[in-house]
Amino acid sequence: DIVMTQSPLSLPVTLGEPASISCRSSQSLLHSNGYNSLHWYLQKPGQSPQLLIYLGSNRASGVPDRFSGSGSGTLFTLKISRVEAEDVGVYYCMQDVQTPLTFGGGTKVEIK
């Protein structure tokens, strides 16, 4: 199974400041189709998860452009250029290059 490791586990941030979350996989997520099968989700408090970034770097529909995804192979990063209050919650990365699909353990983002 592919192990997904996120860091940090907890990320206190200041409103208006940037934030960055790392996700490392135990095997390459580069699919034969040329895309990285790595996706980012945000679960806001009390809500269902929502897709933020798909295939490593593509923003999902309706996601603000302050969110960006980068990386390839085994190391990926989610960046928030300027954190807003509505960005608090738990961020998860997920791979689907092979089954079983696996999620990272989550990074809890909170406002300082």
Partner 1 sequence: EVQLVESGGGLVQPGGSLRLSCAASGFTFTNHAMNWVRQAPGKGLEWVSTISSTGRSTYYADSVKGRFTISRDTSKDTLFLEMNNLRAEDTAKYYCAKSGVFGVLIEAGFDSWGQGTLVAVSS
In angstroms, give the least distance from the CB of 74 to partner 1: 18
- CB 15 to partner 1: min, Å: 26
**Cross-strand bridge partners of residue 68:** 79
Q: Rank residues 16 and 48 by Cβ distance to partner 1 and give the closer one.
A: 48
**Which residues of this chain interact with partner 1, rule CB under 8 A?**
31, 33, 35, 37, 39, 41, 43, 48-51, 53-55, 58, 60-61, 90, 92, 94, 96, 99-106
> In the Cβ-directed half-sphere of 59, how many Cα atoms lie within 13 Å?
10
Question: Looking at beta carbons only, is 30 or 51 nearer to partner 1?
Answer: 51
100-105, long-range: CB < 8 A, 24+ apart: 100/1, 102/1, 102/2, 102/3, 102/4, 103/4, 104/4, 104/5, 104/6, 104/23, 105/4, 105/5, 105/6, 105/9
Supply 71's token pair: 């990386």
Closest to partner 1 by CB, 30 vs 101, is: 101
Least CB distance to partner 1 at residue 58 (A): 7
In the complex, what is the shortest distance from the CB of residue 82 to partner 1, in angstroms, rounded to a whole number?
Answer: 24
Size (the chain), residues: 112
Q: Which residue lies nearer to partner 1 by CB, 73 or 82?
A: 73
